[in-house]
Amino acid sequence: MTRAVALADIRTARERIANKIERTPTVLSQSLSDRAGHPVHLKLEHHQTTGAFKLRGASNAIAALGPQERSRGVVAASTGNHGRALAHAAKLEGMRAVICMSRLVPENKLDAIRRLGAEIRIVGNSQDDAQQEVDRLVAEEGLLMLPPFDHPDIIAGQGTLGLEIMEQVPDAASVLVPLSGGGLAAGVAAAVKGVSPGTKVLGISMARGAAMKASLDAGRPVQVEEVPTLADSLGGGIGLDNRLTFAMCRGLLDDVILLSEDEIAAGIRHAYEQEREIVEGAGAVGIGALLSGKMKAKGPTVLILSGRNIDMSLHRRIVCGDPAQEESAA
């Protein structure tokens, strides 16, 4: 099953998850429209249940499982938004979910996932150790691993965001999508271009450790060094054995824009001060791209605010505008 995800798959996903997720609003940003000289719309997906769009993919992947697979339960090593989404979606279906993490994961992240009813396994001192525990649970206890992006049902679920955008802003000339492993960008681009082939879809990553951008440039999946960034949800690789998102992003994205840490911070600050929205770094990159001038609007533009799960003391430091402290916090 390595064929690209198509519009029909995304429409199926939408019906499957309709009563499991929120249809989030899209609002006009007056301040960004004034700057850009074109209407700029914000898709407020950071108000999604669990605080990020990842619930769409997780809900769709779980809804697609047969009764036999459901009884096995799901497992993942993500302590970020995918882990939260999976824990929430599994709980809703009365399924077992196990999230594996290393000893280094901070207590507040651990609590958030525990509150969602997932079992937690703490093993070793690195993400690799946590992944080994996942592999063991798959092999020995028959749990099912649901990956964060490179899976057809995950991509189709994230794509439902693109369908909503084109209904809310049918004349969109460009859609800006935060880009990491590419599940969101692949799904949204397939939906947007399926409905409106002329609409441009651009991926936005941080300049520090953008694995998809490096892979697109190399013509194949490559590894990049992982470095701390304010857009922590955009960190991590795309997998050297990537099956779907690399090919889809290569085929569907019109461009990829990279932002400095200061440009991401400016996005977070603008979201708070002008739009009165609290977003995490990954959710602010669309705003950062417009403010930096790296993205020039040529018509109605939609920015996806993808998540809001930021440490609030870090957020406070950023909106107070102390760049030195941001640097050390990141």
Ligand X SMILES: *Cc1c(COP(=O)(O)O)cnc(C)c1O
Nearest to 195 by CA among 171, 217, 212: 171
Among 234, 257, 268, 314, binds ligand X (CB under 6 A): 234
Question: Nearest-CB residue to ligand X?
Answer: 307
Indicate the DSSP class of residue 101. E
Name the active-site residue from 20, 29, 43, 54. 54
Q: Give me the residue label for tokens 């960190």.
A: 235
Q: Does 199 bind ligand X (CB under 6 A)?
A: no
Scanning residues 66 to 95, which ones bind ligand X (CB under 6 A)?
81
Complex with ligand X: residue 149 or 246, whichever CB lies closer: 149
- Rounded CA separation 299/36 (Å): 9
At its nearest, how many Å lie between ligand X and the CB of residue 330?
Answer: 16
Q: Which residues pair with 98 in a beta bridge?
A: 75, 119
Q: Give me the residue label for tokens 């697979």.
A: 69
Total number of residues that touch ligand X (CB under 6 A): 19
Nearest to 45 by CA among 195, 215, 164: 164
Query: Which of these segments, 97-105, 111-119, 131-139, 180-188, binds ligand X (CB under 6 A)?
Result: 180-188
Cβ-based neighbours of 141, under 8 Å, separated by 6 or more: none
Among 192, 202, 306, 330, binds ligand X (CB under 6 A): 306
The alpha carbon of 244 is separated from its chain's Cα centroid by a whole number of angstroms, namely 16
The angle subtended at Cα 134 by Cα 72 and Cα 9, nearest 5°, is 60
At its nearest, how many Å lie between ligand X and the CB of residue 71?
Answer: 28
Among 83, 237, 283, 300, binds ligand X (CB under 6 A): 283
Among 48, 180, 229, 301, binds ligand X (CB under 6 A): 180
Query: Which of these segments, 67-75, 137-145, 176-184, 222-230, binds ligand X (CB under 6 A)?
Result: 176-184
Indicate the DSSP class of residue 140. H
Cβ atoms 136, 100 nearer than 8 A: no
Strands 74-76 and 119-122: unpaired
Query: Which of these segments, 109-117, 217-225, 265-273, 275-283, binds ligand X (CB under 6 A)?
Result: 275-283
What does the binding site for ligand X look like in residue numbers (CB under 6 A)? 52, 54, 81, 149, 178-185, 233-234, 280, 282-283, 306-307
